[in-house]
Amino acid sequence: MGSRKSDLAPFGIGFAVMLVVAGYSLTSVPLDWDEGATLSAATRSFGELIQLASYKDAVITPFYLVLHVLVTVCGESDVVLRLPSLLAMAAGAGVTAEIGRRVAGPAAGILAGIICSAIPSLVFFAHTARPYAFAFLFATLSSLLLLTAVQTPTWWRWAGYGLCLALTGIFHLVALSVLAAHVVILAMAWWPERDRRLWRALPAIGAALVVVSPLIWLGRGQRYSQLHWVQTPTWKTVAELPGDVAFSPAVGYLLLLLAVAACFVLPTRRYVELVALSTVPVVVGHRGLADRAGVGAALRHLPPRAGCGAGRCHRHHRPSACGCRVAVARTRRGGRGSARLPLAACAEVGPADAQRAGHPHHGLRHPRQRGHR
């Protein structure tokens, strides 16, 4: 019984800490422009949502549909819009802690979950009514299920993995770049013993890609109108990526240092797997779309590596480097590179003004304008 509680502790602590840290400021800031687009879409009828998807935001429509149901049932409020993201991010932090536990023990798992709550970008997405928290949750969960299925390759484990992989792409196509890291892990697992049971991963991956293929097709048709404002990556943006992903250079580079420290305390194969999960999606996402949020989804695997390094060092009575200072999580919501406008200001910005500013949601009506349906 005690062992069972010890196994559940990392997930529970990671979930609870993120819930408290991010939930404390859930409604402290008005909805920004992107969240206004979410509200505008969620308060449309089902038919209007499908019509919207035909020319804009098709890849985010599944998230809009979830919010549409919630708004219909619970009413229109900031809490209703943001609470799903908060719960998804808290669950994602718990899953991250579970990955840390399986890789390096309960202490490392607990540290990994707590570190999630100290990363400003994760806390930001936890109270943002956009699909990034859902992508974080399902990309992390699919990675956990992959690591489990590789060890015990049963059909039901692969089915669960395929489901989570499909949900990752459904909520954010760029987060599906985690599949590239999964392929690396599968190849590493297959090569030494040639276990044919690992081939069961192929139907799971294929089914997931079939499920998301309509979104891929619609997204390709809208990529120029939706991503015209995204700048082409340069070597400077690559160098600034850790800080850009974490919304704080200090936190981003500290995570990298902790991740490097983990190589001295983890088995080689486990460390290489975590390195693949942390770096391959970043490279694929950065080269493919240069989408800040999509690349940021790969940050989910830095906390397990950082937690493993800090947790194991603590176990060997070395100075623990895990003091990421939870206070940094209380970052200002304006920390992203794109312009953020409160709703009061958005009411003064018409579609023409937004189009001149190059904003990706210039075609959406402002949600606070009655009659926007």
The candidate with the shortest Cα–Cα distance to 237, out of 291, 274, 306, 281, is: 291
Q: So what's the pLDDT on residue 328?
A: 28
Q: So what's the pLDDT on residue 54?
A: 86
Q: So what's the pLDDT on residue 316?
A: 40
Q: Is residue 48 part of a domain?
A: no
* Angle subtended by helix axes 268-288 and 132-151, to nearest 10: 140
Instruction: List average pLDDT for each run of 10 residues in the chain, which is 373 residues long.
Output: 74 96 89 91 92 88 95 92 96 95 90 94 94 96 94 92 96 91 90 84 95 88 66 76 85 87 81 83 64 43 54 40 30 36 29 35 39 35
Residue 217 CA to residue 210 CA, distance in Å, equals 11
User: In this structure, are residues 359 and 226 in contact, taking their beta carbons and an 8 Å threshold?
Assistant: no
Q: Is residue 68 part of a domain?
A: no
Q: So what's the pLDDT on residue 340?
A: 32
Q: Is residue 63 part of a domain?
A: no
**Separation in Å, CA 143 to CA 10, 47, 101, 263, 297:** 17, 35, 14, 20, 12
Question: Would you give the DSSP letter of residue 320?
Answer: P
Query: In degrees to the nearest 10, what's the CA dihedral of 238, 242, 246, 247?
Result: -60
Q: Is 340 helix (H, G, I), strand (E, B) or coil?
A: coil
Full 3-state SS string of 26-53: CCCCCCCHHHHHHHHHHCCCHHHHHHHH
- Condensed to tens digits (0 to 9), the pLDDT of residues 6-54 reads 788 999 999 999 999 999 989 888 898 899 999 999 999 999 999 998 8
Residue 193 CA to residue 129 CA, distance in Å, equals 45
Q: Is 359 helix (H, G, I), strand (E, B) or coil?
A: coil
Q: Is residue 14 part of a domain?
A: yes
Q: Is residue 279 part of a domain?
A: yes
The candidate with the shortest Cα–Cα distance to 342, out of 24, 10, 32, is: 32
Residue 312 CA to residue 363 CA, distance in Å, equals 51
**Summary count for the chain: helices (H), strands (E):** 19, 0
CA dihedral over 112, 177, 295, 141, signed as positive or negative: negative
- Condensed to tens digits (0 to 9), the pLDDT of residues 244-290 reads 888 888 898 888 888 888 888 787 887 888 888 878 887 776 655 44
Q: Is residue 57 part of a domain?
A: no
Q: Is residue 364 part of a domain?
A: no
Q: So what's the pLDDT on residue 333?
A: 39
Q: So what's the pLDDT on residue 220?
A: 79
Q: Is residue 227 part of a domain?
A: yes
Q: What is the largest CA-CA distance in the chain?
A: 64
Give me the number of domains the chain comprises.
1
Q: So what's the pLDDT on residue 371?
A: 35
Residue 251's Cβ-side half-sphere holds a number of Cα atoms within 13 Å equal to 25
Domain span holding position 89: 2-30+77-340
